[in-house]
Amino acid sequence: MAGHSKWNNIKRRKGAQDAKKGKIFMKHARDIFIAAKEGGADQEMNSNLRLAVDKAKSDNMPNENIDRAIKKATGDLDGVSYEEFTYEGYGPGGVAIMVTVLTDNKNRTAAEVRHAFSKNGGNLGENGCVAFMFNRKGYLVIDRKEVEVDEEELMLEVIEAGGEELEASKEQFEVFTTPEDFTNVKAGLEKSGYVFNSADVTMFPTTYTPLDEDGVEKMLNLIDTLEDNDDVQEVYHNLDADDEVVEKLS
C-alpha cells in the first residue's frame, strides 16, 4: 500500500473543491439512485445502497435529498435511465487513469471524457489497458485525535472485525479490507465506538508514476476537468506527487 497517502491527499483536495461547488450532492444522488434501482430501497438488504448513503452523509448531504433519490429510483421517473461505465486511459507522463461514470447519455459522456483527456495531455485507451494496475479495496480512515487507542490494540480489533491491514501515521489510522468484508468491518469497528473520516470501497494502484511539477500541474488539471463533469462519479489514478507540490498548485 506504500504511496497511497499521496493518492488520498489529491483525492481529498478535489473532494473539498467539489463540495464547495455543490456538485458533490448530484454525484451522490446518482450513486444512490442506481444502487436503489438495482437492489431496492431497504438499506439492510442492499449493501451498495447503504454504502452510497453513508458516503452522501459523510459529505453532509441532507436526508431529504437522499430520500428523494431513493424514492425516484423505486417509483416512476419519466423515462430517465442511468447506466454505469468505466473509461481507461493515460494522463500526462503515462499516468494510469480509470474514470467511472453514471450517465443517461453514453455517447455524450464518452465524447466529453475523450475531450477532457485530449485537452489535458492524455489519451483515452481501450478497456483493460490500465485496470490490471489497480486493486479494489475497502478503506476506512480514523483520525488519531478522535480516539484514545494504541496501534496494537486497534490492530487486534481490526483483525477481529475481519480487516486485512492497518497502517498508522501521526495523523490517522488507515484500515484496509476486501470489498466483500468492508461492510462487516465497518459495522464491527463502529460498534466499538470508532468514527471514520472516510469510509469507501475504492481503487488503489499497485504501482505509481512520478511526475515533475509541470507534469503534476497538467495531471491535476485533467483530474479537475474530468471531475467537473456531472456524469463522472470517480477518477482513480496512479500519480505520485509530493504533498508540497500538490499544495502549491492548489
- Domains for the chain: give ranges and CATH numbers: 4-74 (1.10.10.200)
Per-residue pLDDT tens for 114-165?
999 999 999 999 999 999 999 999 999 999 888 888 889 999 999 999 999 9
Q: Report the candidate in 73, 112, 66, 119 with the shortest Cα–Cα distance to residue 230.
A: 112
Looking at residue 21, what is its pLDDT? 47
Mean pLDDT of all residues in 236-248: 85
Local confidence band at 236 (pLDDT 50, 70, 90 cut-offs): very high
pTM over 0.75: yes
Lowest mean pLDDT: which of 11-20, 62-71, 126-135? 11-20
What letters, b where the CB count within 10 A reaches 16 and e where it falls short, cover 129-159? bbeebbeebbbbbbeeeebeeeeeebbebbe
pLDDT tens digits for range 25-48 = 888 888 888 888 888 889 888 888
pLDDT grade for 92, boundaries at 50, 70 and 90: very high
